[in-house]
Structure 1
Amino acid sequence: MTTRQRQLARPWGSVCCLLAALCLSPIAALAETFGGAIEDGKAYGAAVNSDMPNASTLPPESVPGYQTSAPPEADYYGNPSAIGDAANQAAAENPAAQAVTEGFVSRPMFTIDQSTDPMFQRMGQVEANAASIAGAMQGEYSSCQPVVLETPYPPTREACYENRLTENQTCSRKLVVACDPETDGCDAGGIVPGSWAGDMKVALMPGSNGDFILQFGTIADNYWGGYGAVYDRTLNFEITDANLINKFILTRAAFDDWLLIKINDTTVYVGPYGGDRLEVVTSEGGWFQIKQVRYCATCYGSPELGTSWNFALNVDLKPFLREGPNTIFMRTVVAGGGEGAIQITTRQKCPRNCHDTWDDSQCSTLQARSQ
């Protein structure tokens, strides 16, 4: 048996002797008063403590759980901020600390409205009808009676503090642009209003189904004269965006006797027989001159055809348009009497209205948590 065990055995022996004495003389051992019992207890405790060893003289190794006289926490004495840094470092590697931190960041947030929440509504009902609710109880509470407190309990106030670890989180906002459906036929066919200028009558007028008609020349009869006479006319206009024009078609030619049309120096029509040019050539015939119309390298005809032509055409001029200034050239060859005019059907895409909105779906969760 060790010394410590022998020392602890003495008070147990004393207790056993005391219990035996109490059993033999129960009436004599009982204190007569409450104060006497207190004094008896003090005397017994003093007797037991006198046999206990002095803790200040015991070796540290005898204390349960003792490890060292120089724990690492002693380094934090006088440097309180260092213990906080060490705690944060340890928390980053400790699963339990990480679980607590993630709970602070990701746990759902709730707002309780005391005016509508069932818990608070029921509490108010119970408070307002305490007597009836207490009377409705059965069993051991059936005899309860309401008591009116003349002096109410003083109110108490309790506070708690919650610390959240700060962290930087980012989100992206997207700019979403939506445009109205594409339509056409709502303006002047892509030609800049007021930009046309010609040495004959020029008119831009609405057509059907959103088309516009650009007319160059007067549709009439025999307002020019001569034999083999050449009348050259030019129409200038401007286009802001040729890509918006989806129709620019030569749809009508009314002339007498011959007609040639160019757009930006490209020949697009020769009538009435086709060809690639239109010019009047003169040859000597003895004492007089002979005039002929040449409309291809080997194609000739008389200046006078005796007909006022009025053709419905479908010649696509859009491939020959360009941004900015454009020129339409018209040549008419007349014999006796004649005229010349054309019509172009145009159509342009309408401007589209676009609206932009910010998509905050990626940031809404973070914004709600920051409130």
Structure 2
Amino acid sequence: MSHFEVIASDPHCGARRGVLTTAHGPVQTPAFMPVGTAGTVKGLTPDQIEATGAGIVLANTYHLMLRPGAEVVERVGGLHRFMAWDRPILTDSGGYQVFSLSALTRIDDEGVEFASHVDGAKVHLNAEIATNIQNRLGADVIMCFDECTPFPAEPERLEKAVARTIAWARRCRQAHRRDGQLLFGIVQGGIDLALRSHCAEEIVRIGFDGYAIGGLSVGEGHEHMVRTVEHTAALLPADRPRYLMGVGMPADIVAAVRAGVDMFDCVLPTRNGRNAFAFTRQGPLRLRNSVHIDSTEPIEDGCDCYACRNFTRGAIRHFFNCSEMLGPILLTVHNLRFYQRLMAEIRLQIEQGGFDCWAATALARDDSVR
């Protein structure tokens, strides 16, 4: 049974407009998921997140496993209750930490041994453990355990990572026990298109509720990323959602939607917001710059977010320079609203059949989506 319906597509490219049905409601796609690593999107309440237009958020299995632990989340009623978020949630598997915390890991075919970044304690994670933890957390969408490689990576290492990703996907499928929880497989392979083809074929053969493209946005650059996404997305079933993991520059999102990708997540809007960097349709703003010291302008003309409706650039700059927590909160709100406005425009353009033309224009103008 497919939980995903394509309701419109652009006849000139791979872009499609869809709805992903989950246990906690529908997700309108293409969708961008704010990242709530430890069970919260940093600095924002669930009401504030909802006000940005977000329909689904992401949480991190590895971090929740370490603190507070799956058993604690279970005792308080599951991840939705823990986060006070009654809409869909996706949890990643911890596989990305194999890459991001590589200095703290030892990996073999059975799984990964981490030295906890919290206290240095040894933590073991494998396909079965990652799946069990996600079953217990209770997210609507969970991910297979995989191995993400750095860029560049030696061919032998890429091949081993792909073989492990496929083997672990089979084990995740067998270990998955929670009804109503969608399990997504992940395609790895770096920028090696032959490896991507092999991995996609094997992951699709196993059969999942959705499919993710992992291992990108790790230093390969926009052109390599787009080439790899275009190649890989075309290999994935048309009746299942396609998720590009961890890719979040607006230009990358537009190019990936053009290739047929439906779901995205990235820390960029929130992390950059905490560092006084604002996304706008006219290009980035760095709110610490002195040019904004007495500006009465909003962050972005035409933006309907709480920050733009109530605060000036000059005030927000002041909050950052005084280390007031309101500054990072306001830019996080604005950046997430910027991303949700972008996704809403993408969905509208696909519905109206003009996405390909709109995307070509947007990508030609660096300041419009970058």
The TM-score range, normalised by the shorter chain, is under 0.3
Q: Which has the higher helix share?
A: 2
Larger Rg: 1
| TM-score, normalised with respect to structure 1 | 0.17
| TM-score, normalised with respect to structure 2 | 0.17
Q: Which has the higher strand share?
A: 1
